[in-house]
Amino acid sequence: MRKLLVVLLALGLMFPAIAMAEDKAANTAKEFVVYLDKNARDNHYIPSGWMGDYGDIKMNDQAADNPHNGATSIQFIYSAKKSQNQGWAGVYWQNPANNWGNKKGGFDLTGMTKLTFWARGAKGGEIIQKIMVGGIKGTYPDSAEVEMGPIELTDSWKQYTVNLVGKDISYLNGAFGWTTTADLNPEGATFYIDDVRFEADSALKPETKKQQAMPFYVYADRSSIANHFIPSGWMGDYGDIKYDGSSKEDAYLGDTCIKIMYSGKATQGARWAGIFWQNPANNWGGIDAGFDLSKAIKLTFWARGAKGGERIEEFKVGGIMGEFSDSDSANIGPVILNKEWTQYTIDLKGKDMSYIIGGFCWSANVDNNPEGFTFYLDEIKFE
Amino acid sequence: MWITILKGLLSIWMRSSLNKSNSNSFRAAGYRHFLLVACSLLFLFILSACQLKQGVYIQKLKNQHYRLIVNGSPYIVKGVCYNPIPIGFNHEYDWWADPNKPWIVDGKLMKEMGINTIRIYESNNDPEKVKQVIGDLYKLYGIRTLMGDWLGFWEYPCPFYGDKAFQDKVKSQVLEMVNLYKDEPGILGWILGNENNYSCLGHVNPWSNEEIDKEPDPQKQKVMRASIYYSFINDLADEVHKADPAHPVGLGNGELVGLEYANKFCPDVDFIACIIYRGKTFGNLFKSIRMTFDKPVLLAEFGADCYDAYLKKEDQNMQAFFLQSQWNQIYENLANSKKGAGNCIGGTLFEWTDEWWKYNPDNPQDWKVHNTESGWSNGSYYFDIRAEGNKNMNEEWFGIVALSPELENGLNKRIPRKAYYVIREFWKNPVLKKARDRKVF
């Protein structure tokens, strides 16, 4: 009996010790695997967090067709059918499975400086909107939220890296994730992911924002990878706005333009409305993101009213204020739109464009548009 | 000038000495002449020192930086907006006539903190009372006053800046103020208006005239209003300069809105008195002003409230954090600073004490309540931006000194908040930190 007690006691001490050893392993190891191969012992996370139009996703986690390494890779087929009416979809690798921050899990990955993965498209040209490391909220939120993208896949394997130097990755439940949209892949996309791992690379330096080359698009076309901001910041009477980012009604350039309908009904009682194009979506200055657009000397865009005479109070660049504020702002307005496409320019000379999360914005009010209006935008870009 | 005088005097002495070099009295005469020269130099020095430019003015340095000079010495405005309305009263309360003299109590606390300037939005109808306040603060505590005028901004139905009669009325009112107080030793300068430029956009107190009404393009209307308004301010500044060459004149401008027009129509103001609420950073403000309207900048109104509208409780740490960050940026942009724009002359933070009447200015019962309802939203103050409707700005909680309903010598007891002490320590030892430093308590 005494022997049994001793054995039980030893086991009782041993299991937490093993668990702790695994937790700390990340701190000293050179790499920490998210996914290597189907059933690989080193896999630490599960691709369980399906998001958005999850009905549009099919996953084969043992695709044997040309894996990058080992015997299998993970194949994703995204149909872009908008099964849940979201227009986007994605998958998070979580620990434990389906953990949206409601339970303690994850790992302390302190010491790792980057996440690498390999990816390829079935045809090439498939677009992943963004890759995420961390970012799951909830009661037990990830300690970091890092994003990278968009990326356009090629039909051969290519390695991608997310720089994590200087990031607090002491708790990551959502180790890796991807999202994409129907706009970016109107015909859907089939792509493969393999060999996802954290690595300790002591030579890696913290990522600094690189100055983006010009022209730099806010919106080029519906499916363009050149689109860098998302029209997510709906303001004021947001219920009065209808947005169509793929209108084919006489686009200025390319096959689509933006069509915006404003009812002027003051649904939320604000008597005004507008949309901010943000990076990432819904970033009101709470996320350190955006772009260094220091090379820009102007923002140009084309606009037309459905009837002509529509009054936009303001077109604007920057000006989002939060913990991570835009470095400057510039605007024009009020602008009375013509019925024909007309190019407008916001002068950025002398402005500090080194940190921009709010790429473009318009706002209008009921007082000057009591019947509401419809207007169109196209080719919004920094130059 | 000094070298020329010295050379002249020395040559006189030398000639005089040489002429007598052969006489027996050379040594004594030389000594007398030396004394004469020395005394002359001393006299000239004293005379010159007495004639050092007195008053207050802006100095542009060789490196194009600006600094404020007061009686010959550089002066950083370490100021506060001052409107000591007691609990239970609203903005109509005549605190200048308060027999308990709140400025005496406040001035002492201000001096202990390191404040050297108060900003007052408008003077009082009774010049003697105004002189007493300015005089008491200066004589007792060395605190100077920046005196302002609303320029009829809140007159019903709107400020008709395009109307000559309205302009004349405002001009007369401002010049009366200047003539009354320009000789008060405690006066530091004048600030014309407070965010009146927003009326040019038509957002606040919109005004127009026949000519503007005829213009169909709203953008051109805005430009027309701005040209009228800033031209008027320029005339006003010229008149003030004529009446009082010894004090600078500031343009009280909301944000940087319209400064490109001020650059064109209002070149004669001495500094821009900016009203700015951008949270922990002023962003590109200082460099932007360099580009658009190259004048010295006084941050005439900025700050943070100390009520967390999300957690629904007072948060003095939050206020102290924002204020320290803001003062840090002010110091980074003073003259001769290494990395800033060098065009800042200081600031007057908003504000000294809480004002309990602000949420409901028309309900006397509410003036006795320290309302926690928030009036507007500003994402720059991000700690409580998740409050309902994102309304996170609590107008009644901007004081760096809280008011207690308890009376002390007839006044609401003053209770300095954390920001009071944090800024006091910062001013003693202004160690500059990076703007993106995180909140650390």
A328:B283 CB<8 A: yes
**Omega prior to A96 cis, within 30 of 0:** yes
**B409 and B301 within one domain:** yes
β-pairing, A230-236 vs B56-60, is unpaired
Among B49, B69, B87, the domain boundary falls at: B49
Between CA B268 and CA B262 the distance in angstroms is 10
Q: Which residue of B has its CA nearest to A329?
A: B284
Q: How many domains does chain B have?
A: 2
End-to-end CA distance of chain B: 55
Between CA B386 and CA B339 the distance in angstroms is 34
- How many Cβ atoms from other residues are within 10 Å of residue B45's Cβ? 12
| Rounded average pLDDT over B75-84 | 98
Q: Answer yes or no: are the C-beta atoms of A369 and A311 closer than 8 Å.
A: yes
Per-residue pLDDT, B438: 39
DSSP 8-state code for residue B385:
T
Residues in chain B with CB shorter than 8 Å from the CB of A324 are 436
> With 70 as the cut, is the pLDDT of residue B21 above it?
no
ipTM value, please give it: 0.75
**B100 and B10 within one domain:** no
Instruction: Indicate whether B433 belongs to any domain.
Output: no
**B210 and B324 within one domain:** yes
Dihedral in degrees, nearest 10, Cα atoms B334, B336, B340, B346: 0
DSSP 8-state code for residue B289:
H
B131 three-state secondary structure: helix
Lowest mean pLDDT among A192-196, A376-380, B30-34, B341-345: B30-34
Query: How many residues are present in chain B?
Result: 441
> Residue A92's closest CA among A179, A26, A196?
A179
Q: Tell me, what CATH number does B253's domain have?
A: 3.20.20.80
Among B16, B33, B49, the domain boundary falls at: B49
Domain ranges of chain A: 29-199, 216-382
Per-residue pLDDT, B372: 97
B287 touching A (Cβ < 8 Å): yes
Between CA A327 and CA A358 the distance in angstroms is 10
**B218 and B83 within one domain:** yes
* Token pair belonging to B361: 């200015």
Residue of B284, B326, B386 for testing the chain A interface, max A β-carbons within 10 Å: B284
Between CA A228 and CA B349 the distance in angstroms is 38
Per-residue pLDDT, A149: 83
What's the whole-number average pLDDT of chain B? Answer: 90
Per-residue pLDDT, A51: 97
**B289 and B270 within one domain:** yes
B222 touching A (Cβ < 8 Å): yes
Tens of pLDDT along chain A (383 residues) come to 556 555 555 555 555 444 444 444 455 689 999 999 998 999 999 999 999 999 999 999 999 999 999 999 999 999 999 999 999 999 999 999 999 999 999 999 999 999 999 999 999 999 999 999 999 999 999 999 998 888 999 999 999 999 999 999 999 999 999 999 998 899 999 999 999 999 999 899 888 888 999 999 999 998 888 999 999 999 999 999 999 999 999 999 999 999 999 999 999 999 999 999 999 899 999 888 999 999 999 999 999 999 999 999 999 999 999 889 999 999 999 999 999 999 999 999 989 999 999 999 999 999 999 999 999 999 999 99
Instruction: Indicate whether B398 belongs to any domain.
Output: yes
**B410 and B325 within one domain:** yes
Equal CATH topology for A29-199 and A216-382: yes
B291 touching A (Cβ < 8 Å): yes
Q: From the options 3.10.180.10, 2.60.120.430, 3.40.50.11440, 1.10.10.10, give the CATH code of A216-382.
A: 2.60.120.430
Per-residue pLDDT, B436: 44
Element (H, E) at B306: none
Per-residue pLDDT, B308: 97
Q: Which residue of B has its CA nearest to A283?
A: B379
Per-residue pLDDT, B440: 34
A320 touching B (Cβ < 8 Å): yes
What is the full DSSP assignment across B44-71? HHHHHHHTS--SEEEEE-TTS-EEEEET
Instruction: Indicate whether B179 belongs to any domain.
Output: yes
Between CA A325 and CA B285 the distance in angstroms is 13
Query: How many residues are present in chain A?
Result: 383
Q: How far is A162 from chain B (nearest CA, A)?
A: 23
Q: Answer yes or no: are the C-beta atoms of A155 and A124 closer than 8 Å.
A: yes
Which of B218, B278, B292 comes nearest A321 by C-beta?
Answer: B278
* Token pair belonging to B146: 């920046």
Between CA B255 and CA B114 the distance in angstroms is 27
**B58 and B42 within one domain:** no
A321:B380 CB<8 A: yes
CA A365, B358, B208, A318 dihedral sign is: negative
Quickly state the pLDDT bin for B27 (edges 50, 70, 90): low
Largest Cα–Cα distance in chain B? 99
Per-residue pLDDT, B377: 92
Between CA B153 and CA A307 the distance in angstroms is 38
| Rounded average pLDDT over B298-309 | 98
- Tell me, what amino acid is at B22? N
**B83 and B45 within one domain:** no
Residue B377 half-sphere exposure toward CB, CA atoms < 13 A: 15
Residue of A167, A321, A365, A367 for testing the chain B interface, max B β-carbons within 10 Å: A321
**B58 and B45 within one domain:** no
Per-residue pLDDT, B17: 47
Instruction: Indicate whether B171 belongs to any domain.
Output: yes
- How many Cβ atoms from other residues are within 10 Å of residue A320's Cβ? 25
Per-residue pLDDT, B293: 97
**B42 and B91 within one domain:** no
Quickly state the pLDDT bin for B31 (edges 50, 70, 90): low
Residue range B315-338, pLDDT digits in tens: 999 999 999 999 999 999 999 998
> In three state form, how does the secondary structure of chain A look?
CHHHHHHHHHHHHHHHHHHHHHHHHHHHCCEEEEECCCCCCCCCCEEEEEEECHHHEEEEEEECCCCCCCCCEEEEEECCCCCCCCCEEEEEEECCCCCCCCCCCCECCCCCCEEEEEEEECCCCCEECEEEEECCCCCCCCCCEEEECCEECCCCCEEEEEECCCCCCCCECEEEEEEEECCCCCCCEEEEEEEEEEECCCCCCCCCCCECCCCEEEECCCCCCCCCCEEEEEEECHHHEEEEEEECCCCCCCCCEEEEEECCCCCCCCCEEEEEEECCCCCCCCCCCCEECCCCCEEEEEEEECCCCCEECEEEEECCCCCCCCCCEEEECCEECCCCCEEEEEECCCCCCCCECEEEEEEEECCCCCCCEEEEEEEEEEC
Between CA B317 and CA B415 the distance in angstroms is 15
Quickly state the pLDDT bin for B3 (edges 50, 70, 90): very low
Q: Which residue of A has its CA nearest to B378?
A: A321
> With 70 as the cut, is the pLDDT of residue B99 above it?
yes
Q: Answer yes or no: are the C-beta atoms of B91 and B359 closer than 8 Å.
A: no
Query: Domain of B40?
Result: 2-49
A328:B385 CB<8 A: no
Residue B296 half-sphere exposure toward CB, CA atoms < 13 A: 27
Residues in chain B with CB shorter than 8 Å from the CB of A334 are 218-219, 222
Residue range A187-197, pLDDT digits in tens: 999 999 999 99
**B145 and B73 within one domain:** yes
Residue range B249-286, pLDDT digits in tens: 999 999 999 999 999 999 999 999 999 999 999 989 99
**B215 and B94 within one domain:** yes
Q: Classify domain A29-199 at the CATH topology level.
A: Jelly Rolls (2.60.120)
Q: A-B interface: how many C-beta pairs under 8 angstroms?
A: 52
B12 three-state secondary structure: helix
CA B202 from chain centre, in angstroms, equals 26
